[in-house]
Amino acid sequence: MTDRISRYGHGCASTALVAFLIAAPALAHDVPQNDTTAPVASSADDAAETARRFAALRNDPARLRLFLQAFPKGADLHNHLAGAIYAEPMLDWARTDRECLDPRRQTLSNDSSCGRPGLVPAAEAFNSEDTTNRAIDAMSMRGFVPTETDRSGHDHFFDTFDKFDAAYETHQGEALAEVLAQAARDHELYLETMVSPALAQAMALGAHHPLKGNNFAGSYAEIAPSLPAVVATARAEINQMESRAHAILGCGTAHPQPGCAVTVRYLFQPLRILPPPMVFGQLAAGYALAHSDPRVVGVNFVAPEDDPVALRDYDLHMRMFRYLNGVAPDVKLSLHAGELTLGLVPPSELESHIRQAVEVAGARRIGHGVDIAYERDAAELLHEMAQKQIMVEINLSSNAQILGVSGGDHPFMLYRRAGVPTALSTDDEGVSRIDLTHEYQRATTTYGLDYPTLKQLSATGIRYGFESDADRTTLNARLQHDFAAFEHWAAHEPLFR
């Protein structure tokens, strides 16, 4: 059970993460860094010239990267904190903490004595360039090539979390600082990252209170008295990690780092691969936390959708969400749904996951949604999603790495043709070895996107985020300011002529 939690839980078996809000702007170093309230000397002519220049450089990868690096990106709404960290910082943390490496499995261990057979002190192991490179490859998708013992991108991707979890779980404040620093480099304004504070306590709720069939009300009545203690633990963990992240970034000091400018909120992520009572306990705790802490703006659901338990209990899980929506109707829901493809599972498993997430669970956003074309009455479902404005979080790189779905096989443009809102996101940028700028560049070169479409994708992230209305108003104002500053710069930058 512990291995399954660590492997599939995106490093969240003992996660406690930081949340904080700082409203300063984050612009490209080459772009004038003005106060967001100050007027920017931009015009419709600047916007038109920027669009013209963008069209001319779309097939020039180096200049396109330069352009898109500085381009203001409204939000990354699909981000797992553990998976967002590159392997290199985690190897450094392992050295600092005197952790160990199992070279055979390329897995870190917090057994500081390295007493078990086969363990080597991390500080010693990572003095070797070859050992370091093999560890980075094992803990990410870098240079992945299928072998006889490591045959699929799907399995390699999800196996990475168990390999680095020992370092991640004791450095979540550092992890958040890393992610916010990267978000600032990508010129993101808003980040929603998935975390699992007090997860062990949440799982224990279900273990101590067996699910009473479909009598969710009866089960919830037994769990409810224990929820305040779980919420208190989760909030304490968040506060502790917040303090660490602030200290690293210098937030609130005279010289804050750019990561302090990124507004960050959290989605609680329960694991879908556990016995039903434990899943229900996690969900109840997640809803209670999101209801009571404004930093936690919603609930999601993680672990491979093709896992046998996740497939077996999918209908049951959707009904759990529907019940809890009645208990706490203010809690917003984004769900991993349709992260499947033909061959990975039988065709019958592709027919209804997205629809159930929308119609039964009441999801406001869908993460991945790759198998939409296989859904029963897919055209009708697409029209429904467009009418209800159910946004889809598009993760191009991870879909290619995990599912082998890319290019014209990916439904990104199908969603856009149907009028379903979409925004680009990273999923697990550290494991995938990407950043959000890379995803914008991949979308541009693969699908021939024009500049107005990029601006729409950027703005969609803020529009469909789960932040408060007041935060959304502030973020939209910042985004428009940053667009104007960027376009004034891009329209006059000689490199883009």
Question: Is residue 242 situated within a structural domain?
Answer: yes
What is the strand order of the sheet 263-268 is part of?
Answer: 73-80, 188-195, 263-268, 296-299, 332-337, 365-368, 391-394, 422-424
Q: Is the pLDDT of residue 9 over 60?
A: no
Q: What is the pLDDT of residue 208?
A: 86
Q: Are 135 and 143 in contact (CB under 8 A)?
A: no
76: β partners: 191
**pLDDT confidence band for 34 (50 / 70 / 90):** very low
Q: How many alpha carbons lie under 13 Å from residue 180 in its C-beta half-sphere? A: 31
What is the percentage of the chain residues whose pLDDT exceeds 70? 92
Question: Is residue 493 situated within a structural domain?
Answer: no
Are 110 and 160 in a shared domain?
A: yes
Of residues 266, 87, 249, 232, the one with CA closest to residue 173 = 249
Are 125 and 215 in a shared domain?
A: no
**pLDDT confidence band for 259 (50 / 70 / 90):** very high
Q: Is the pLDDT of residue 14 over 50?
A: no
**pLDDT confidence band for 11 (50 / 70 / 90):** very low
Q: What is the pLDDT of residue 17?
A: 27
Q: Is the pLDDT of residue 32 over 90?
A: no
Residues 27 and 35: their CA atoms lie apart, in Å, by 10
Predicted confidence (pLDDT) per residue in 264-304, tens digit: 999 999 999 999 999 999 999 999 999 999 999 999 999 99
Residues 99 and 121: their CA atoms lie apart, in Å, by 6
Q: Are 320 and 282 in contact (CB under 8 A)?
A: no
Are 329 and 420 in a shared domain?
A: yes
Predicted confidence (pLDDT) per residue in 192-246, tens digit: 999 999 999 999 998 888 887 789 999 999 999 999 999 999 999 999 999 999 9
Q: What is the pLDDT of residue 206?
A: 87
Are 215 and 281 in a shared domain?
A: yes
Residues 353 and 47: their CA atoms lie apart, in Å, by 41
Are 265 and 397 in a shared domain?
A: yes
The region of weakest confidence among 39-53, 149-163, 172-186, 382-396 is 39-53
Question: Is residue 125 situated within a structural domain?
Answer: yes
Q: What is the pLDDT of residue 209?
A: 84
H or E, element range at 336: strand 332-337
Are 108 and 193 in a shared domain?
A: no
- Which residues, other chains included, contact 86 with Cβ-Cβ below 8 Å and sequence gap of 6+? 140, 178, 430, 433
Residues 251 and 361: their CA atoms lie apart, in Å, by 38
For the chain, how many residues are written?
497
DSSP designation for 112: T
Residues 53 and 451: their CA atoms lie apart, in Å, by 9
Q: What is the CATH number of the domain that holds 320?
A: 3.20.20.140
Last residue of a domain, one of 168, 194, 221: 168
**pLDDT confidence band for 320 (50 / 70 / 90):** very high
Q: What pairing do the DSSP bridges indicate for beta strands 107-109 and 120-121?
A: unpaired
Q: Are 393 and 423 in contact (CB under 8 A)?
A: yes
Q: What is the pLDDT of residue 218?
A: 94
18 vs 392, more confident: 392
Residues 185 and 494: their CA atoms lie apart, in Å, by 22
Question: Is residue 346 situated within a structural domain?
Answer: yes
H or E, element range at 306: none
Q: How many domains does the chain have?
A: 2
Are 18 and 158 in a shared domain?
A: no
Segments forming the whole domain that contains residue 258: 2-26+171-486
Q: What is the pLDDT of residue 100?
A: 95
Q: What is the pLDDT of residue 20?
A: 25
Are 132 and 218 in a shared domain?
A: no
DSSP string, 393-416: EE-HHHHHHHH---GGGSTHHHHH
Q: Are 440 and 430 in contact (CB under 8 A)?
A: no
Distance linking the first and last C-alpha atoms of the chain? 58
Q: What is the pLDDT of residue 358?
A: 99
Question: Is residue 32 situated within a structural domain?
Answer: no
Tokens of 303: 């672990």
Question: Is residue 72 situated within a structural domain?
Answer: no
Last residue of a domain, one of 149, 168, 187: 168
Are 339 and 405 in a shared domain?
A: yes
Are 242 and 332 in a shared domain?
A: yes
Predicted confidence (pLDDT) per residue in 390-430, tens digit: 999 999 999 999 999 999 999 999 999 999 999 999 999 99
DSSP designation for 59: T
Q: What pTM value is reported for the model?
A: 0.92
Are 160 and 195 in a shared domain?
A: no
User: What is the pLDDT of the chain when averaged over all its residues?
Assistant: 92
Q: What is the pLDDT of residue 116?
A: 86
**pLDDT confidence band for 111 (50 / 70 / 90):** confident
Are 146 and 193 in a shared domain?
A: no
Identify each DSSP E strand in 183-261 by its residue range: 188-195
Last residue of a domain, one of 168, 191, 225: 168
DSSP designation for 205: H
**pLDDT confidence band for 85 (50 / 70 / 90):** very high
Q: What is the pLDDT of residue 36?
A: 47
How many CB atoms sit inside 10 A of residue 200's CB?
13
Q: Is the pLDDT of residue 25 over 70?
A: no
Q: Tell me the average pLDDT across 125-129.
A: 94
Question: Is residue 355 situated within a structural domain?
Answer: yes
Tokens of 256: 């804050």
Question: Is residue 435 situated within a structural domain?
Answer: yes
Of residues 218, 253, 229, 166, the one with CA closest to residue 327 = 218
